[in-house]
């Protein structure tokens, strides 16, 4: 997993992709900016809103489940409504400065089962953010992404945009006991590094969020920490050294209410339940 762990509190889990700051390799897409993205203490994230959610609703920040300040959810664990006071640095469109600090009210939803996602509900609304900072949220789409789509992985932590395409989808991605389904495999141009975890995967043509960046096979090992392996529908295991991955987010909007709350019992909601 490609998060960057900082500080003494996180030292106990520093084995999870603690990466020092190399010179990041990236290709920036002309149509993609940092507007709507945030930097966490150890990861990246974005302010997201499903189409149809009112601007008066509490704003949501999307990141990875393994970026939670409370630690990594166990396989099979689902977190709903956990109180949080986490802060996020809202970036300017060029990524060169912070416009201000956003504050979480709670973790609406988080898991590392089937997917690797965390959703924070903020103590402010989309409308208030737009009025104060002139920043609109990124739209979280409810449709499955397509192979070959040109994408940008926008890291608020590194203030870097990684540009590539969707190479394909993985039936199951296994890493150290966690299993993620229908994961997004990138083409080699996206050389994401530690700290890019939680970055929105933005469809370049539309500027909309179709996934969240989460891991890579760093050392060519098989199904170990920081070395996920691919499992196809027949159970065959393959390892792709250096390959980077993300998780789909199209299933999230069907589980969110107009008040930015999670309802896992809604018809059409397929997110894992506690």
Q: DSSP for 41-87? A: SSSEEEEEEETT--TTSEEEEEE-GGG-TT-PPPTT-EEEEEE---E
As a whole number of angstroms, the distance between CA 88 and CA 99 comes to: 11
Q: For residue 19, is pLDDT > 60?
A: no
Least confident of 8-17, 162-171, 246-255, 265-274: 8-17
Segment 87-134, tens digit of pLDDT: 999 999 999 999 999 999 999 999 999 999 999 999 999 999 999 999
Q: 10 Å Cβ neighbour count for 222? A: 12
What's the pTM? 0.91
Are residues 22 and 193 in contact, defined by beta-carbon separation less than 8 angstroms?
yes
Instruction: Kindly indicate the confidence band of residue 31, based on its pLDDT and cuts at 50, 70 and 90.
Output: confident
Fold observed for domain 37-139: Thrombin, subunit H (2.40.10)
The set of residues, in sequence order, having a beta carbon less than 8 Å from that of 236 and lying 6+ positions away, is none
Instruction: Kindly indicate the confidence band of residue 3, based on its pLDDT and cuts at 50, 70 and 90.
Output: low
Q: 10 Å Cβ neighbour count for 216? A: 28
Token couple for 207: 């500027």
> Can you tell me whether residue 129 is helix, strand or coil?
helix
Q: Identify the burial level of 185 via C-beta atoms within 10 angstroms of its C-beta, where 0-12 means exposed, 13-18 middle and 19 or more buried.
A: middle
Instruction: Kindly indicate the confidence band of residue 224, based on its pLDDT and cuts at 50, 70 and 90.
Output: very high
């Amino acid at each position: 997993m490609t998060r960057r762990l900082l500080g003494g509190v996180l030292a106990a889990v520093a084995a999870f992709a603690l990466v020092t700051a190399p010179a990041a390799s990236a290709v920036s897409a002309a149509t993609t900016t940092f507007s709507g993205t945030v930097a966490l203490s150890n990861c990246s994230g974005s302010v997201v809103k499903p189409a149809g959610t009112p601007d008066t609703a509490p704003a949501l920040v999307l990141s990875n489940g393994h970026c939670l300040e409370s630690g990594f959810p166990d396989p099979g664990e689902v977190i709903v409504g956990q109180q949080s006071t986490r802060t996020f640095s809202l970036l300017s469109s060029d990524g060169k400065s912070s416009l201000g600090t956003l504050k979480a009210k709670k973790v609406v939803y988080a898991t590392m089962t089937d997917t690797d996602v965390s959703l924070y509900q903020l103590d402010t609304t989309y409308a208030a953010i737009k009025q104060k900072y002139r920043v609109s949220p990124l739209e979280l789409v409810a449709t499955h992404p397509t192979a070959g789509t040109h994408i940008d992985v926008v890291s608020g932590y590194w203030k870097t945009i990684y540009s590539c395409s969707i190479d394909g989808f993985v039936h199951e991605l296994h890493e150290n006991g966690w299993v993620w389904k229908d994961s997004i495999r990138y083409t080699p141009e996206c050389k994401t590094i530690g700290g890019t975890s939680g970055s929105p995967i933005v469809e370049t043509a539309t500027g909309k969020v179709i996934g969240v960046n989460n891991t890579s096979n760093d050392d060519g090992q098989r199904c170990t920490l920081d070395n996920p392996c691919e499992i196809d529908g027949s159970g065959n295991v393959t390892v792709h050294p250096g390959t980077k991955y993300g998780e789909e987010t199209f299933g999230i909007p069907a589980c969110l209410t107009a008040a930015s709350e999670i309802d896992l019992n809604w018809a059409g909601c397929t997110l894992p339940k506690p």
